[in-house]
Structure 1
Amino acid sequence: MERLLLQYEVEQWLYREAEYLDHLDFQSWLALMAQDVVYQMPICMNVADTRSAQDYSRETFIFNDDRNTLQMRVDRLNTDFAWAESPPSRTRRLVTNVRLVEVEPEITVLCNVLIYRSRGADIEADLISGERKDVLRREGDSLKLVRRWFLIDQTTINTRNFAIFV
């Protein structure tokens, strides 16, 4: 029963995070991050006939952020200098297939994510899909994100910029 309750708590945390991002509530989203968070999206490489973790760079990233760089990105989005997000993207994040891998000492979670993104009056929208590996830590009575590793499904990312959070 404990594991089911933890699964539910983690799922609700993931859904709340997606809601904050979709509604551009970046301060509430940032409050979900641990002080020592590592937030990474490695590039996907075509190096083999099969898809595996080795198909992702351990050295080159689309983004490789910590708490300070996440704060800087959020602060920039609240200025007149966030040209890549003017007008702001309209996004919808679908979080599915949530699996708890480890629960002690921290909670390791795998989930699939599909992000729909439209911009301004553009007719075409972006679809960004991948698997996230998150590590959550209990701090008091809440969960905080300690690590995010987003493995994007696309080798060539068909979007004008990556100014959104995954």
Structure 2
Amino acid sequence: MSEIPGESHWRAVEGFYRREILLLQDRRYREWLGLMDPAVRYHVPVTTSTLQGLVTRENELGYYDEDFTLLSARVDKLESRQSWVEQPPSRLRYFVQVIDVSEEDGASLVVRSNLLLLQYRWNMEQQFSGDRTDTLVPTDGGLRLRHRRVVLDRQSVGKQGLSVFF
């Protein structure tokens, strides 16, 4: 990987994230899927705290380990009103801080960011913070997400369950 010079890459990445955040906060999940590359991998591993720090378990099941088909199935369920965990729908606030953009293989952008997601439903709230690493690929229609890996700071999910995208 090499560092990318110039502001145009940063502006493109920030524009991609602004659009993504608006779609997710407005629960426009079908449009959000349009930001995915057909070969997307969306991975949120389980984390464990150790004396050496936070450890992820790459070869075990995670909270999410999805391809495009599985992400589409999640969206179908959220849109079907059969998802009791989202009745009534959550109010979501995303805060993404891009901290590094680098180029991989001459075309793809690897973006590392900090994520803070606040979820409110009924009188319950959940907060998710973590480190996010994305691979974005340029297409004629703009950037598309090919890979997302989110390492959450928390080790367990509350009683509300996990019905949000990071």
Matches within 5 A, 1:94-105: 94-103=95-104, 104-105=106-107
Alignment match of 1:19 (pick from 17, 22, 35): 22
- 1:109 maps onto 2:111 in alignment: yes
For 2:70, the equivalent position in structure 1 comes to 69
Count of matched residue positions in the alignment of Structure 1 and Structure 2? 161
Amino acid at match of 1:57: R
CA drift of 1:29 comes to 0.6
Q: Structure 1 length as normaliser, TM-score?
A: 0.90
CA drift of 1:49 comes to 3.0
Q: Secondary structure at the match of 1:154?
A: coil
For 2:6, the equivalent position in structure 1 comes to 3
Runs of 4+ with deviation above 3 angstroms: none
Alignment match of 2:34 (pick from 14, 31, 52): 31
For 2:149, the equivalent position in structure 1 comes to 149
For 2:132, the equivalent position in structure 1 comes to 132
Q: How far does the alpha carbon of each residue in 1:31-76 deviate from its partner, in whole angstroms, 9 at most, with x for none?
A: 000000000100001233334xxx1110221111100011111111
Q: How far does the alpha carbon of each residue in 1:11-32 deviate from its partner, in whole angstroms, 9 at most, with x for none?
A: 1101210110001111111100
For 1:85, the equivalent position in structure 2 comes to 86
CA distance in structure 1 between the aligned counterparts of 2:7 and 2:95, rounded to whole angstroms: 21
Q: How far does the alpha carbon of each residue in 1:56-105 deviate from its partner, in whole angstroms, 9 at most, with x for none?
A: 11022111110001111111111131111111111000011331032533
Which consecutive residues of structure 2, in runs of 5 or more, have no partner in the other structure? none
CA drift of 1:2 comes to 5.9
Q: Structure 2 length as normaliser, TM-score?
A: 0.90
Deviates more, 1:37-46 or 1:95-104: 95-104
Over the residues paired in the alignment, what is the CA RMSD in angstroms?
A: 1.6
